[in-house]
Amino acid sequence: MKSQQPSYLNFDKQQYAWKPDIDYRAHPLAYRVGKGEQGVLICEPYKSEIGRYWRFKTEAIAEESSDQILAMFEDYLKADDFVGADMARKYLQMGYTRARRYANYKGGKKYDKERDYALLERGTGDMEKAAAADVFYKRWKQAEANTHYAAMKKQWKDERG
């Protein structure tokens, strides 16, 4: 198997744009959109508000979870809270990526720490997670296709990064 170290091994906390000691609702200008799911497990109070609903164990659980998170996404948009909406979108994306990881790899483990982080065998995971991933993928793409959100995101990135 190919040896490829995961990016988290060389993670530089000081350079990371998202900080756990910032209240991003009180200080939204400190928020950066970033790439993919960056900051999703750090940015409070959104992490606590949204994270409690984030589940993907089965397709039925993923349906309930993603519906709740998508409703929160829409509520944040109605309140003109871009940071909240973007965080909800990130949780939907993360529901997809994490469920896919568990579908692809037994126990969700992609790298073998004992063998210099060699990639583990793909296709050994849980097929129930593949169905959960599909549920989250649809909700994630639905959120990204929202024109109000897209306009807010473009403006935010143009002005703040």
Q: Which residues span the domain enclosing 76? A: 42-153
Question: Residue 30 domain-assigned?
Answer: no
Q: Between 34 and 105, name the one with better pLDDT.
A: 34
User: 1 pLDDT band (50/70/90 cuts)?
Assistant: very low
Residue-wise pLDDT for 17-28, tens only, equals: 788 899 999 999
End-to-end CA distance of the chain: 38
Task: Pick the range with the lowest mean pLDDT from 2-16, 58-72, 86-100.
Answer: 2-16
Q: Into how many domains does the chain fold? A: 1
Question: 145: pLDDT confidence band, cut at 50, 70 and 90?
Answer: very high
105 conformational bin, left if phi > 0, alpha if psi -120 to 50, beta if neither? beta
Conformational region of residue 112, where left means phi above 0, alpha means psi within -120 to 50, and beta covers everything else: beta
DSSP 100: H
Contact 95, 66 (CB under 8 A): yes
Residues 6+ apart with CB under 8 A from 71: none
